[in-house]
């Protein structure tokens, strides 16, 4: 068909103007890819890699983490920078024992640094599968000996594990439970934590004091202390405890949260056995029990927690009843009532009555309101199925008061007094506790 002058049309180019062969097409595609890669670098594409890395030295870690979100190409360059010796020196600060840096609050500077580093590595590895992210991060951090369970020769005076903990908290914030399971398994494999726990829970308490201390510091500083939400803390504490039988869970709970020596930080196993203790020694255990009893800890039932408290009260041997009562008071009303109700349901009225007397004694000593103990007893009375069982329990409470006063009076009369005259003080507190306990009952009934 012949075209007329002035008619517009599209001419078909000759074959010679097309890419001549497959090799030339591949070269064109490569050039396009390179140009796209360079364009994602923006103005940085004019800089040699060495100059780019020198520029990074003038940026804060937070600024570098913001830069990593600009493009995948820049993120890859930052990953390479982190792996270089200069990047390692810049980012992996190791002033873990220099707790008082000039112009900084004690330890705060290096903790903030590792929070920022956690955010940087979180963003740089965003597109990697969890397994690959963990391997890369381990490769970066593996040279820091203070991040290891047995790595630091002076763990009590080191911020290494705390820095590792805040780093992991920022890194894993927002991850789902499956990914966090993988993180825990990965950490267990690196630290050999299960084998070390097996050693301490199967040995005589205190026979592996240094290992007990290191497990305590690792679990608290790396896995437990830095979470904002209780659900996260409950998740990680559950991961630590659940692989073990109940008796071992109680031992491990005592190692992690029990009282320690103010001199060397080692676990004090005889604290609950030798004499009455204070709230400070029990607060960590009580907080852990409350955490597991919360609805946030979905893997624990009320029976599980009460069984754990029962096992805990005989670690390493049976506790003084006063210490057991103090722990239950600190654990909260719900746990205390559930514990007492379980004894009522199981027909252990005598044991329950004695426990009630010690609740009154702790309220007297620690200046709690005595009406709380009376109302707790009143609530427990409703658990008994018959009036006869309830009346028997009330009689047991009165008998327990009488027997304990006689025992303490005998100790005073025997003349075995220590420097603090504790026998007489205990008798004094118990008599006052009985008087105030019955006064509250009179107020309630009259």
CA distances for 125 relative to 42, 223, 235, 417, angstroms:
21, 21, 24, 66
Report cis status (omega within 30 of 0) of the bond before 316.
yes
Task: Give the integer Cα–Cα distance in Å for 231 and 294.
Answer: 9
Task: Give the integer Cα–Cα distance in Å for 210 and 183.
Answer: 26
Question: What is the pLDDT, as a whole number, of residue 57?
Answer: 84
Task: Give the integer Cα–Cα distance in Å for 367 and 361.
Answer: 10
User: Is there a single domain that holds both residue 258 and residue 306?
Assistant: yes
Cα torsion 305, 307, 309, 312: sign: negative
User: Is there a single domain that holds both residue 356 and residue 325?
Assistant: no
User: Is there a single domain that holds both residue 356 and residue 289?
Assistant: no
Q: Is residue 355 part of a domain?
A: yes
What's the number of domains the chain is made of?
2
User: Is there a single domain that holds both residue 225 and residue 264?
Assistant: yes
Q: Is residue 73 part of a domain?
A: no
- Do the beta carbons of residue 50 and residue 81 sit within 8 Å? no
User: Is there a single domain that holds both residue 296 and residue 409?
Assistant: no
Helix axes 209-218, 193-202, angle to 10 degrees: 130
- Do the beta carbons of residue 407 and residue 357 sit within 8 Å? no
Q: Pick from 331, 365, 389: which residue ends a domain?
A: 331
**Chain position carrying tokens 């007492």:** 340
Q: Is residue 341 part of a domain?
A: no
User: Is there a single domain that holds both residue 237 and residue 269?
Assistant: yes
User: Is there a single domain that holds both residue 297 and residue 368?
Assistant: no
Q: Pick from 331, 364, 393: which residue ends a domain?
A: 331
User: Is there a single domain that holds both residue 388 and residue 420?
Assistant: yes
Task: Give the integer Cα–Cα distance in Å for 423 and 416.
Answer: 8
CA distances for 365 relative to 181, 278, 302, 351, angstroms:
44, 10, 29, 21
Bridge partners, residue 260, by sequence: 267
Largest CA distance in the chain: 134
User: Is there a single domain that holds both residue 234 and residue 320?
Assistant: yes
Bridge partners, residue 267, by sequence: 260
User: Is there a single domain that holds both residue 385 and residue 414?
Assistant: yes
Q: What is the pLDDT along the chain (446 residues), one digit of tens a residue?
A: 444 444 444 444 444 444 444 444 444 444 444 444 445 666 666 677 778 778 888 889 999 999 888 888 888 888 888 888 888 889 999 989 876 544 445 568 899 999 999 999 999 998 889 999 999 999 999 989 999 999 999 999 999 999 999 999 999 999 999 999 999 999 999 999 999 999 999 999 999 999 999 999 999 999 999 999 999 999 999 999 999 999 999 999 999 999 999 999 999 999 999 999 999 999 999 999 999 998 777 899 999 999 999 999 999 999 999 999 999 999 999 999 999 999 999 999 999 999 999 999 999 999 999 999 999 999 999 999 999 999 999 999 999 999 999 999 988 888 766 556 788 899 999 999 999 999 999 999 88
Q: Is residue 265 part of a domain?
A: yes
Helix axes 321-331, 333-345, angle to 10 degrees: 130
How far the first Cα of the chain sits from its last, in Å, is 119
User: Is there a single domain that holds both residue 323 and residue 263?
Assistant: yes
Q: Pick from 331, 364, 382: which residue ends a domain?
A: 331
Question: What is the pLDDT, as a whole number, of residue 298?
Answer: 84
CA distances for 128 relative to 14, 123, 133, angstroms:
47, 10, 6
Q: Per the structure block, which two tokens stand in for 237? A: 């504490």
Q: Per the structure block, which two tokens stand in for 424? A: 């007489």
Q: Domain residues for 431?
A: 351-445
Q: Is residue 312 part of a domain?
A: yes
User: Is there a single domain that holds both residue 273 and residue 325?
Assistant: yes
Q: Is residue 308 part of a domain?
A: yes
Alpha helices by DSSP H, listed for 128-229, are: 130-141, 160-172, 177-191, 193-202, 209-218
Q: Is residue 138 part of a domain?
A: no
259-294 burial: b if 16+ Cβ within 10 Å, else e: bbeeeeeebbbebbeeebbeeebbebbbebbbbbbb
Q: Is residue 246 part of a domain?
A: yes
DSSP-based three-state secondary structure for 54: helix
């Amino acid at each position: 068909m012949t075209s007329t002058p002035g008619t517009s049309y599209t001419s078909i180019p000759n074959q010679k103007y097309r890419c001549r062969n497959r090799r030339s097409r591949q070269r064109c595609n490569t050039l396009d890819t390179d140009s796209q890669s360079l364009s994602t670098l923006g103005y940085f594409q004019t800089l040699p890699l060495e100059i780019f890395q020198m520029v990074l030295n003038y940026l804060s870690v937070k600024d570098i983490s913001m830069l990593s979100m600009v493009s995948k190409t820049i993120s890859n360059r930052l990953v390479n920078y982190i792996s270089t010796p200069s990047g390692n020196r810049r980012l992996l600060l190791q002033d873990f024992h220099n707790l008082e840096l000039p112009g900084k609050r004690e330890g705060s500077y290096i903790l903030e640094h590792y929070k920022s580093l956690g955010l940087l590595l979180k963003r740089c590895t965003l597109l990697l599968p969890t397994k690959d992210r963990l391997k890369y991060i381990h490769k970066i951090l593996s040279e820091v000996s203070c991040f290891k369970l047995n790595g630091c020769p002076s763990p009590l005076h080191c911020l290494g594990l705390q820095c590792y903990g805040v780093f992991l908290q920022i890194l894993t914030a927002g991850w789902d439970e499956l990914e966090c399971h993988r993180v825990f398994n990965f950490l267990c494999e690196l630290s050999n934590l299960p084998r070390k726990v097996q050693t301490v829970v199967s040995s005589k308490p205190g026979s592996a004091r240094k290992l007990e201390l290191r497990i305590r510091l690792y679990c608290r500083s790396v896995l437990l202390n830095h979470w904002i939400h209780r659900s996260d803390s409950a998740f990680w504490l559950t991961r630590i405890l659940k692989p073990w039988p109940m008796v071992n869970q109680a031992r491990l709970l005592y190692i992690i949260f029990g009282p320690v020596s103010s001199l060397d930080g080692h676990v004090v196993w005889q604290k609950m056995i030798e004499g009455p203790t204070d709230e400070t020694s029990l607060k960590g255990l009580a907080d852990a029990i409350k955490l597991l009893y919360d609805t946030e800890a979905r893997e624990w039932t009320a029976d599980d927690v009460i069984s754990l408290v029962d096992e805990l009260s005989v670690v390493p041997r049976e506790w003084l009843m006063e210490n057991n009562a103090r722990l239950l008071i600190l654990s909260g009303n719900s746990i205390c009532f559930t514990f007492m109700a379980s004894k009522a349901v199981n027909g252990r009225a005598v044991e329950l009555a004695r426990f009630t007397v010690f609740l009154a004694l702790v309220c007297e000593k620690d200046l709690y309101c005595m009406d709380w103990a009376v109302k707790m007893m009143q609530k427990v009375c409703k658990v008994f199925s018959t009036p006869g069982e309830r009346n028997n329990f009330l009689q047991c409470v009165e008998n327990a008061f009488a027997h304990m006063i006689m025992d303490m009076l005998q100790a005073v009369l025997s003349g075995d007094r220590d420097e603090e005259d504790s026998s007489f003080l205990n008798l004094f507190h118990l008599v006052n506790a009985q008087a105030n306990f019955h006064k509250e009952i009179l107020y309630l009934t009259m």
